[in-house]
Homo-oligomer: A and B are copies of this chain.
Amino acid sequence: MFRTVITLLWGAGLAFGLAIVPTFQAHAQDSDAVTVQKLRNAALDDRFGYRFVETLTTTIGQRLAGTDAEARASMLAEKTLLDAGFVNVHRESFPITAWIRGRGEAEVTAPSSQRLVVAALGGSVATPPEGIETEIMVFPHYSQLLAAAPGSLDGKIAVVTEPMPRAMDGANYGAAIRIRRGGPSEAAKRGAIAYLHRSLGTDERRLAHVGATNYAEGVKRIPAAALSVPDAQQLARLAALGKVRIRLVLTPTSDEHAQAWTVSGELRGGERPDEIVLIGAHLDSWDLGTGAIDDGAGVAIVLGAGNLIAQLKVRPKRTLRVVLFGAEEMDYSGPAYAKMHADDIPRIVLASEADFGARRVYTFLAPASAANTHFLQTLADALNPLGIFPTRQPAISGGDDIAPLHAAGVPVFSLRQNGLDYFDIHHTADDTFDKIDPQELAQATAAWVTTVYLSLQTDLDFRKPAAGSKN
C-alpha cells in the first residue's frame, strides 16, 4: 500500500523540480578553504531543501507522530537520501503513544454567548462528550496560580493569561513553557476541572498555539487547551467585569500502541569514518498546519546541506550522518534514538538539530572544546560573509532530539536563526509553506553546510577540554 503512495509522492517531487542535479563544481585538489567557499556559495543558489519542504507540505501536509502521514514522510525522506547518494539509509520504528486531536470547541456561555478559539494540548485527556460548563478563574500570571490555595479552584476552569514576550533567540519560550507543560497538574492540585492558558505565541491572531503538556504523577488528569491570544485577552476583560462561564469540549483520543519512524543516512568519511558528525531535524509536526517552519524547514536545511556535501568529488574525512527524527513534538524520538544507538554514541563527535524555523542564521555557538582553536577561527571567517558572527559562549544545547546524546557526552553546536516572528506561527494552523522565504532558508543552509564541512575536516577532538581555554 505504501509503495503506491510513495510513487505518487515522488512523482510530485519530480514535478516540483526535486530532481538532483549538480549545482557546483568542486575539484579534488581544492583546499578546505576553497571547498567551503564553493559549498557556501552553492547553498545560496540551491533550492534542493526548499523543493523538498514544498513537496513534503503540499503532498503530505500535517505529519503528526504515529499517523500514516508521518510514515509517508519518512518514506519520502528515505528515498530522497538514497537518491542524493547517501548510504546506510534506513527507517527505524519505535513505539509511541499517538495522540489524535478530535474536536476542540469552547464558548463563553455567560454573561453573553461568544465563541472562543481553543486547541487541545498534545497529550490532553478528553472532556465528557457533552463538554464541561462551569465558571472560570483567571490568573494574569502563572505564579498566581501556583500561589492559589488547594481547593480554591474546586469545580472551576483555571485560565492563565500571562503573555510571552518576543525575543530574537526565542529565550522567553523556555521561561514560559511551564505554563503549558506544568499548568494542568498545578490547576488540578487546586481543584480545577479543566485548564486553559494563553497561547505561547507572540502574535495577535485567532489561532491557538498547541504543544505537548505533561501530567504529574499522582495528580488527576484534567482536560487542557490553549486559547488564541485575542481570546485570552477577551476572557481577561470579561472576567474583570464579573463572573464568566465557559463550555469546553475536547475529544482527543490516544493509541498506546502506535509507532513512529526515524530516518537516517550517511556519507562515509574518507579518512576517519568512525568519527561521526550528526545533523538532524524532525519530520513529525503538529496537526493544525503543515509543519513548514516546524520542522519542514529544519529538514530542508539538513537535507540541503547533506546533498551538497554528497556531491563533492572527494568524501570529507569524517562521516556525516543525517537523522530525521519522527516524534520530536511529543518528546519520543530523542530518547528513543539515544537508546537504540547507545553503541554509536562514543563515535558521534559532534551533533546538532535544525529546529527553529526558516529564517536566516545570525550567530553560532561552538562546543567549549573549540574555544581559541584554529578550527573556530576558520569557521568564523567562513561564516562571516553570510553575516554570521560568533557568540562567545559555548553551545549548551543542540536541540530537543539531541539532548539525550548531549547528556551522554556528545558535544553540540548551535546555529541560531532569527526567531523574532517564529512564535507568531509556531504550533499553529498558520505553519504553512508560504511562510518560508527561500533566500533566508538558503542562507541558513549555507551556514549549516559551512559548519558541517569544516567539522568533518578538522582534526579537533570536540570531546577534549580546550587547551588554554578560558571557559
Contacts and interface: CB of A to CB of B under 8 A. Distances in A.
A429 interface: yes
Interface stretch (A202-210, A251-259, A311-319, A460-468): A202-210
A233 B16 CA distance: 15
Interface of A: 5, 8, 11-12, 15-16, 54, 58-62, 69, 72, 111-115, 117, 204-207, 229-230, 233-234, 237-238, 240-241, 288-290, 428-430, 432-435
6 contacts: A8-B111, A58-B234, A59-B241, A204-B435, A206-B430, A234-B433
A58 B59 CA distance: 41
Nearest to A424: B205
Given A58-B241, A61-B113, A204-B432, 19 more contacts: A5-B112, A12-B241, A15-B240, A16-B241, A54-B237, A58-B237, A59-B112, A59-B241, A60-B112, A61-B112, A62-B115, A69-B112, A204-B435, A205-B205, A206-B430, A206-B432, A230-B430, A230-B432, A234-B290
Nearest to A5: B112
Given A237-B54, A238-B58, A204 B434 contact: yes
A206 B207 contact: yes
Copies of this chain, whole number? 2
B428 A206 contact: yes
A430 B117 CA distance: 10
A206 B209 CA distance: 13
A72 B142 CA distance: 35
B69 A434 contact: no
B62 A234 contact: no
A229 B72 CA distance: 26
A12 B69 CA distance: 49
Nearest to A292: B230
Nearest to A287: B115
Given A15-B240, A15-B241, A241-B15, A206 B429 contact: yes
